[in-house]
Structure 1
Amino acid sequence: MTDQHKTRGKQKIAMKMIEKEEDRNPTFSKRKSGIYKIANELVTLCGADVGFMTFSPKGKPFSFAEPSMESIEKRLMIDVEKPPPNLKPTTISDDHLSKLEGLNQYYTELANSLEAEKKNRKAIDKLVQKSTATNMSDKGWWETPVDNLSYEELLRTNESLEDLHQKLCNHINGERKTSNNTDAS
């Protein structure tokens, strides 16, 4: 049995016009979000002023500007005949620099957390697939046989069980407090 891909996935595609309009629109949407992400990273990581505008294949405009489109337009609309002003390199104050470093660190932590959650999601999806494949759809994830799980899957399952145990204990303690309060009154 051969595994054939029905989609191109993360494969590199040639940089040429996509002929089919029904393929062009989703490609535009996916690439647009990637451009927004890259532009936002440039602003966050480098403190750059970024602005761009694009039109979808259907003619709908989309734009991104940081700090604002007006400030970027002013820089671009300088009269050609006027000599440009003496641009001196700007220095970032220590306060702004520390804020920028803090934001960069926060961004990195969020990106790492997102990657970890994506891995967890993949592992959970794998477990769901395995349980469905072995006709265990009527059972819960905690009833999945552990014999065929990898070490990482065992660790994730253990973490999930510990989390479930903690939630159950908290719920039971909450119910006890509620019943004690109603009994006392």
Structure 2
Amino acid sequence: MVRRKKSMGRQKIEIKRIQNEEARQVCFSKRRSGVFKKASELSILCGAEISVVVFSPAGKVFSFGHPSVEAVVDRFLVGNPRQQHPECGGGGGLDSHREAAVRELNRKCMELHDMLEAEKKKRDALEKEIKKEKEGEAGRWIWDGDEDVERLGMEELQELERRLVELRSDVARRADQLLQESFVFKPQFLAAAPLGSGGGAAAGVHAVKKEAADVHYPGLDAGGFGGYGHGFFSSRI
């Protein structure tokens, strides 16, 4: 006959602080899960509202709550206990939780609706500005250089003339600026001017500026646009 090995059976564990740090952490994780499980079972079986908050030895926080930790804590701090039901399995807690969840969702929905309306107003304002800008640009005709001048109407020709006049003025002003800069940085350029011509360097500057001013741009005379064809690109002023 084989003798069975006697088991030590279930032994009572002495409740005291665990000295080994690793063993202490393992014990904390297991027991924390057990506490949360029991709290969940209590809320399901009895419809109880429960909240459990645990800080680990390292300072990490863990929590469990039904319907939520915040709801239970707020109710506790306000001190407005719910009317107790005689039976343990009453569904008053769950109904209250649903009502609170619906109110919270409605509040968030209204906030999102207000934000959406504000964004729509911003979009409409931007669309109006863009439309206004486009209409303003559409009212301005720009010659791209590829269009036959002979096919332009009176308003388009007048606009082209105005732009060409402005361009001629800009070109003359820029040429005058470059000439002046050239005289400042290259004074030897004036050596060709005869000393007896009166004024020396001043006479040379006057002669060059007069020559630049006498540059003739065909088509900009009072007579109209004779001599202009293709290939002239105008920039928006």
**TM-score range normalised by the length of the shorter chain:** 0.3 to 0.5
TM-score, normalised with respect to structure 1: 0.39
